Structure 1
Amino acid sequence: MADELLVIFLLVSYLFVSGVTSRNFTIENKCDYTVWPATFNSPGSINSLSTTGFTLRKGEARVINAPLSWTGRFWGRTFCSTNSTGSFSCATGDCGTGKVECSAASAGSSFPATLAEFSLDTIDYYDVSVVNGYNLPISIVPQEDKTCNSTGCVVDMNVTCPFELRVTASNTSLIACMNACQKLKLPEYCCTDDYASPDKCKPSLYSQNFKSVCPRAYSYVYDDTSSTFSCASNNYAITFCPSTILSTTNSSVADSPFPAQTKDGGLGPPTGSQPTNEATTEQKKKLSWKLKLIMGTLSLNPFDSNLMRIATPLFKRLFSYYRSFSSFSCDDHYYSGNNSEGTECKKK
């Protein structure tokens, strides 16, 4: 009997875990123009996605599968075109590869770009960030588990962008908003050098401006407590130009090791015990190791129909025991690159 229970436990544990060994990201474009989504695998991520960049015309959507333990980001590129030599480039979010596809060496994107960031495991962590600037609205909406938080920045932040941070086309229309660190390159804005800690690096007037417009999005490096969300084993919809962020029944954010914001907008001590980075990393390592152990012990195909017929009653027994490219290029203009004044789109 004990041996039978052990086999049942291992089998169902594997089936249970295998059901969450990947996530589906549905990338949707609700903008009135073509967006070229891009992806980036963080250097510490042992897995990668099947694509690094593609075309998404108005109203189109694409599903991308991400393996467990993937860490990386999505963003949208805008005002893209191909020149006479066949080199592809974008006014915002460009990868610098000269192609629609990006590469690991692109280090994410040529900012400014609004980012959707993920760290997947048994518990997923995700956020929308304007730390590297803003170029278009984005939302992240968990799909199956409706108690998980949605997040995003759904407004046109270019409208409130300070003059000195604006990126404009040749016709003076705003196409993006830079982050103060990118433009001014000062340690107090970049949280570097003597400001490389949450105690020293405070939210600047620029980041406070971003935060007032998009309160759920990362506005500067240490904006964790109000902007990092978590969800257990879910699929996600990432939408460009969403009309709104869907409300959820759970309004809490993920625990963060960094100080919380006080009522006066400053940074104070955390409220309650918060996990350290080392503890979070160690927990993820343990969960990943357990997953590999189960999968290594049972070299089975979880999608095999015969296996599923056998597993279904075993599952019940166990719990009874335990419980394209589009030619859009600056409308009637062509993209000519960057200069000190901003990004230009010249008349064809």
Structure 2
Amino acid sequence: MLTRSLRRSVAAVFALAFAVAGLAAPAANAAIDHTVTFVNNTGQTIWVGSTVNADGSKVLTNMPTLRSGQSATITIPETAAPGHWRGKFFARTGCTGTSGADFRCAVGDCGVQAARCVTGEQPASLAEFNFDSRDRLAPWYNVSYVNAFSVPVVITPVNAVVPPGSTSCGTAGCPENLLPLCNPAYVKYGAGGQRINCVNPNRDAPTDYSNTIKSRCPKAYAWSKQDTEPGNQTVYQCGDCTGFKVTFNS
């Protein structure tokens, strides 16, 4: 998730780019509650999970369950107090049991509730967002495989208005399934012996895991400090859009 210092530094880069191009920086937009639409193209049922930063962001409690091919849209509660929402979404897979009792998931498990998380998530592919009504460049977003790669994730802005000469509102992530390329030492297997997850052996340093992710999916985080590497494509912003589409692929 984006740190405050990183958000400031990225914002400064965008401001400088506008100045060099002789363009006025975009004015602050009226605060709105953006939407996020989840699309399940995984070929299996997913239970969408969500956890939030420890900054007052509202915990989401009615997350959808999607069969393959289904989609669902939620509204982000970003304009009510505290005026922001910072958190992540992920596909929980291989889930069994009764919600509130013994519901558990093979990937992305976050507690016994099917429609909300009650613990931090177990390693999985993440779609991360920073919605901030006081930041004229927000929302910020990224796809993170820092902890693990479970399913391919793509984030696409909806109804984006891109200023002339700007590189904002890009597509984050990639649709390629990287599980077949995972070092067997990092693979987690399902009940049927299939690969269901690839867990990063060291999220805070480059490894063969992160090198594979970077070479095949440069628009996603592969390790925690990848955003400091020259020319990286890990962080995106879109100051003028109605929301985002998060597609979980197979």
TM superposition score normalised by structure 1:
0.54
Q: Which runs of 5+ in 2 are unaligned?
A: 1-26, 79-83, 163-168
Amino acid of the residue matched to residue 219 of structure 2? R
Match among 182, 205, 208 for residue 208 of structure 2 = 205
Amino acid of the residue matched to residue 24 of structure 1? T
Q: CA deviation at 1:157?
A: 1.1
Asked whether the 8 Å contact 2:40–2:71 carries over to 1, the reply is: yes
CA distance in 2, matches of 1:51, 1:239: 20
Match among 66, 70, 81 for residue 56 of structure 1 = 66
* Local SS of the residue matching 2:93: strand
CA distance in 2, matches of 1:50, 1:78: 19
Asked whether the 8 Å contact 1:49–1:67 carries over to 2, the reply is: no
Alignment CA distance shift 1:146-1:214 (3 Å): farther
Amino acid of the residue matched to residue 100 of structure 1? A
Q: CA deviation at 1:51?
A: 2.6
Q: Which runs of 5+ in 1 are unaligned?
A: 1-15, 182-189, 192-200, 243-348
Asked whether the 8 Å contact 1:39–1:52 carries over to 2, the reply is: no
Q: CA deviation at 1:50?
A: 4.1
- For residue 125 of structure 1, what is the aligned residue in structure 2? 140
- For residue 173 of structure 2, what is the aligned residue in structure 1? 152
* Local SS of the residue matching 2:87: strand
User: How big is the alpha-carbon RMSD for the aligned residues of Structure 1 and Structure 2?
Assistant: 2.3
CA distance in 1, matches of 2:200, 2:159: 34
Superposed CA offset, 1:72-120 (max 9, x none): 000001111116x95111110010x2221333x512x111x10000011
Matches within 5 A, 1:110-259: 110-111=122-123, 113-121=124-132, 122=136, 123-145=138-160, 147=162, 148-181=169-202, 190-191=203-204, 201=205, 203-224=206-227, 225-234=232-241, 235-241=243-249
Q: CA deviation at 1:180?
A: 1.2
Matches within 5 A, 1:1-348: 19-44=30-55, 46-48=56-58, 50-51=60-61, 53-68=63-78, 69-82=84-97, 86-95=101-110, 97-103=111-117, 106-107=119-120, 109-111=121-123, 113-121=124-132, 122=136, 123-145=138-160, 147=162, 148-181=169-202, 190-191=203-204, 201=205, 203-224=206-227, 225-234=232-241, 235-241=243-249
Identity in percent: 28
CA distance in 2, matches of 1:240, 1:210: 17
Amino acid of the residue matched to residue 179 of structure 1? N
- Count of matched residue pairs: 204
Superposed CA offset, 1:177-206 (max 9, x none): 11112xxxxxxxx43xxxxxxxxx4x2222
Q: CA deviation at 1:207?
A: 0.8
CA distance in 1, matches of 2:177, 2:144: 14
Superposed CA offset, 1:287-324 (max 9, x none): xxxxxxxxxxxxxxxxxxxxxxxxxxxxxxxxxxxxxx
CA distance in 1, matches of 2:193, 2:68: 24
* Local SS of the residue matching 1:164: helix
